[in-house]
Amino acid sequence: MPDLESLPTPPLVANLPAASADESLQTVLLKRNDIAYILWCLGRVYAAVEEPPKRAYIEKHNASTLDSLDHSTMTRPKIVCLCGSSRFVGDIAVKAWELEKQGYIAVSLHLLPSWYEGVQRSHQAEHEGVAAILDHVHFAKIDLADMVYVMNVHGYIGERTGLEIEHAKAIGKPIEYLVPIGAVQ
C-alpha cells in the first residue's frame, strides 16, 4: 500500500494548515469542516487501496467466468426497468436476478430484508412518507432503461404501475408484460 503522505495534494487544499501528528482523520475533518478537504482526504484513502476487494472476491469465487470475459470488446448490457406493484416485490426481485444472470442490468424497486426497521409487506414508500421521491426516481429509471418489463402478476396493474406504463409509452420505450394484456379475465 502506498504511503498516504506521498500522494499529491490538489491545489484546492494545498494551502490548508497541516494536521498535527496526533490528530485522527475524523478529528481533522470535524475541525476543518471543509468539503474540499473532506473530498481530498477520501480520495487519498481510496487511492491508497491497491486492488478493489470486489475484484479479488470475483477472482476467487468465479475465476472461470471472469477469465472468459473479454472486457475490451464488451458492449454495455441492455438495461431493463421492472415495474409492478410493491406487493409483488419478491417476484420482482426474482425476475431481476433471472435477467442479470442472462446479462441484463435490471433496475426496479428494492426488496428489503425482514430486519429492516418498520418493513411492510407492501407500500413501504407510503409507510415511510417517501412515495413521491421514489416515484420520481422510478420514472428516471424508466428514462435510463432500454426497455420496460411489467411484472403484472395475475394480470394486476395498480395505479402507480399504470402511470409508469403511460410514461414508458410516452417516451417510446419498448414494453413487455409478464402476463399478456387481456390474458386474465
Structural domain contains residue 183: no
d(CA 57, CA 80): 26
pLDDT digits (tens, 9 = 90+) for 128-149: 888 889 899 999 999 999 999 9
Q: Based on the domain organization, do 92 and 163 belong to the same domain?
A: yes
DSSP 54: H
Could you tell me the pTM of the whole model?
0.61
| Total tally of structural domains belonging to the chain | 2
CA distance 14 to 25: 17
Q: Are residues 68 and 83 in the same domain?
A: no
Radius of gyration of the chain (CA): 23
Please say which residue of 72, 93, 110 terminates a domain: 72
Q: Please report the pLDDT score of residue 46 as a whole number.
A: 47
**What are the DSSP E strand ranges found in the chain?**
79-83, 105-107, 147-150, 175-177
- Whether residues 89 and 145 share a domain: the answer is yes
Say which residue the cell 464488451 belongs to.
Answer: 74
Residues 120 and 157 in one domain: yes
Q: What is the CATH number of the domain that holds 100?
A: 3.40.50.450
Do 57 and 138 lie in a common domain?
no
Confidence class of residue 63 from pLDDT cuts 50, 70 and 90? low
Per-residue pLDDT tens for 66-81? 556 666 677 889 999 9
The boundaries of the domain holding residue 67 are 1-72
**What is the pLDDT at residue 75?**
83
Of 22, 43, 72, which residue sits at a domain end? 72
Instruction: Identify whether 40 is part of a domain.
Output: yes
